[in-house]
């Protein structure tokens, strides 16, 4: 099973888009997206220095544009899972088919501008806490009046809040930890970003999303989201909610992901996945940073997607749990069965009684992702439906 990751803020490097502009049509596409985002993506990706691309209003649309520019060069039709970190969720949502590339770029522009404006209201910041006992780290963050903005797994939690509180926290770090102040404009993914969340919600209310064509994981809780409108609501909410990348990686492990491609600028998420999943068997990883990496990425897709020769392209849709409880597949329903839209494929036993699980599309039941009496969480993948494109 193959997953594609879309990175977030902090992964950008000066000039990282330069080699991509040699591809036919790449520069014209970036100029079109620049008009939508309200920033010059060609300049930012090629000539701008580190200080200029650190600006939140510029960085966020730049990262989404980079991910989508590279994704367009890959045969992603048989990718099973996609997930992004922070603003990278917009890129992942476009790869999953929830948003068009134009919509994702436009939302990234709004998100970046509004979060930059929220950062200017009062002095706030972020600090990475490396090592230590996670519970002790979280308790110390709360005791200092800070927020756990990112829980990235692999022994890394990011604290965010007022500069004064961060200074005191850095002077009194939790036991066996190292605190590194991050060069960011403010306290992202905390209540300090509430004005940006409100502004983004007003714009997002006007778009028409589609349901995801593949498993799309959410930073909110690591679960798969099966409805486009719900994903848009989560994207808006994530402006003030913590990024639970640790839970996203847990879901990747639970799904049995064997191959990972990180879109550009790649490296950060791949490193976290490699460290976090090494105990259970780290997946094969390709970091896609330049067009020279495309052959390796395409080879990984061919080997982990199951495509052979000229077989029909298979498009997978995921059915997720509507509630927390215990799952029971419909009696006699086996992999390979032909499903129709609205067909009941199982039930989730909850404290309030059984909740039906229905197929939201027609096709073949290609794989059960949960089995009889498995405990499931809301949004957890239960089954995949597939069919020829």
Per residue in 86-120, pLDDT (tens digit) is 999 999 999 999 999 999 999 999 999 999 999 99
Are residues 112 and 220 located together in one domain of the fold? yes
Position 307 pLDDT exceeds 50: no
Assess whether 352 and 251 both reside in one domain. no
Q: Of 148-162, 302-316, 365-379, which has the strongest mean pLDDT? A: 148-162
Please list the active-site residues.
86, 189
Non-local (6+) Cβ contacts of 279 within 8 A are: none
Total domains, the chain: 3
Task: Give yes or no: residues 127 and 162 share one domain.
Answer: yes
CATH number at residue 300: 3.40.366.10
For residue 185, the model assigns a pLDDT of 87
**Quick one: 276 and 204 in the same domain?**
yes
Which of 286, 305, 324 is the C-terminal boundary of a domain? Answer: 305
Q: For the domain that residue 174 is a member of, what is the CATH number?
A: 3.30.70.250
Categorise residue 187: left if φ over 0, alpha if ψ from -120 to 50, beta otherwise: beta
Residue 77 pLDDT:
76
List the single range of 182-196, 283-297, 362-376 with lowest mean pLDDT.
362-376
If asked whether residues 48 and 9 sit together in one domain, one would say: yes
What gap in Å lies between CA 231 and CA 211, rounded to an integer? Answer: 9
306 pLDDT more than 60: no
* Rounded percentage of the chain residues whose pLDDT exceeds 70: 96
Same domain, residue pair 318 and 294 = no
Q: What's the whole-number mean pLDDT along residues 236-257? A: 93
The predicted-structure confidence for 344-389, as pLDDT tens digits, reads as follows 999 999 888 898 998 877 888 988 998 999 998 877 888 888 754 4
> Is the overall model pTM greater than 0.85, yes or no?
no
Pick from 254, 276, 305: which residue ends a domain?
305
The pLDDT of residue 387 is 59
Look at 54 and 282; give whichever has higher pLDDT.
54
159-185 average pLDDT score = 94
**pLDDT tier at 256 (50, 70, 90 boundaries)?**
confident
Cite the DSSP H helix spans in the chain. Answer: 26-37, 41-46, 56-71, 88-95, 101-119, 134-143, 163-171, 194-204, 228-237, 245-255, 268-276, 294-305
For residue 321, give its domain range. 314-388
CB burial class (10 A; 0-12, 13-18, 19+) of residue 353? exposed
Strands 259-262 and 284-287: parallel
Number of CB atoms found within 10 A of residue 191's CB: 12
Q: Is 349 found in the same domain as 295?
A: no
What pLDDT score does 245 carry? 96
Do 288 and 214 share a domain, yes or no?
yes
The pLDDT of residue 314 = 41
Considering the domain architecture, whether residues 161 and 200 belong to the same structural domain is answered as: no
Residues 172 and 320 in one domain: no
Coil, strand or helix at 148 = strand
Secondary structure of 20-34 as H, E, C letters: HHHCCCHHHHHHHHH
Same domain, 153 and 212: no
pLDDT band at 317 (very low <50, low <70, confident <90, very high): low
Among the listed residues 325, 354, 356, the one whose alpha carbon sits nearest the alpha carbon of residue 343: 356
The pLDDT assigned to 41 comes to: 98
Task: Give the end of a domain, one of 305, 330, 360.
Answer: 305
Give the side-chain half-sphere CA count within 13 A for 101: 15
Query: Tell me, what DSSP letter sits at residue 263?
Result: P
Mean pLDDT, rounded, for 206-216: 92
| pLDDT on residue 316 | 56
Residues 221/224/228/233 CA torsion (nearest 10 deg): 0
Q: Which of 73-77, 293-297, 333-337, 349-353 has the highest mean pLDDT?
A: 293-297
**Where residue 331 sits, what CATH number does that domain have?**
2.40.50.100
Residue 149 shares a structural domain with residue 277:
no
| Strand order, beta sheet including 177-182 | 147-153, 156-162, 124-131, 177-182
Confidence of residue 310 (pLDDT cuts 50, 70, 90): very low
Mean pLDDT of the chain: 91
């Amino acid at each position: 099973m193959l997953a594609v990751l879309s990175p977030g803020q902090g992964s950008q490097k000066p000039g990282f888009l330069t080699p991509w502009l040699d591809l036919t049509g790449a520069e014209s596409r970036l100029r079109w997206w620049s008009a939508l985002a309200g920033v010059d993506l060609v300049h930012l990706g090629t000539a701008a220095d580190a200080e200029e691309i650190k600006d939140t209003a510029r960085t966020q649309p730049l990262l989404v544009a980079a991910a989508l520019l590279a994704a367009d060069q890959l045969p992603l039709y048989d990718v099973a899972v996609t997930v992004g970190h922070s603003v990278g969720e917009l890129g992942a949502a476009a790869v999953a088919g929830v948003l068009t590339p134009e919509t994702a770029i436009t939302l990234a522009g709004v998100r970046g501008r509004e979060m930059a404006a929220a950062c200017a209201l009062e002095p706030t910041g972020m600090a990475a806490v490396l090592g230590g006992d996670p519970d002790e780290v979280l308790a110390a963050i709360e005791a200092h009046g800070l927020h756990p903005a990112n829980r990235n797994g692999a022994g890394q939690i990011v604290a965010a809040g007022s500069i004064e509180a961060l200074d005191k926290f850095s002077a009194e770090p939790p036991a066996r930890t190292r605190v590194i102040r991050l060069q960011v404009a403010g306290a992202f993914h905390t209540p300090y970003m509430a004005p940006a969340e409100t502004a983004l919600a007003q714009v997002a209310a006007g778009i028409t999303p589609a349901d995801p064509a593949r498993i799309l994981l959410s930073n909110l809780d690591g679960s798969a989201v099966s409805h486009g409108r719900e994903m848009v609501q989560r994207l808006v909410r994530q402006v003030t909610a913590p990024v639970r990348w640790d839970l996203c990686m847990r879901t990747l492990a639970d799904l049995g992901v064997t191959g990972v491609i990180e879109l550009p600028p790649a490296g950060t998420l791949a490193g976290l996945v490699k460290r976090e999943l090494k105990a259970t068997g780290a997946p094969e990883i390709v970091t896609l940073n330049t067009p020279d990496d495309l052959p390796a990425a395409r080879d990984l897709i061919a080997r982990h997607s199951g495509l052979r020769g000229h077989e029909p392209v298979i498009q997978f849709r995921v059915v997720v749990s509507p509630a927390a409880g215990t799952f029971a597949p419909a009696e006699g329903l086996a992999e390979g069965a032909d499903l129709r839209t609205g067909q009941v494929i199982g039930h989730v036993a909850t404290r309030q009684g059984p909740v039906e699980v229905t197929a939201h599309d027609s096709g073949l039941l290609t794989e059960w992702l949960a089995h009889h009496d498995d405990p499931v969480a809301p949004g957890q993948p239960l089954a995949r439906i597939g069919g020829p494109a």
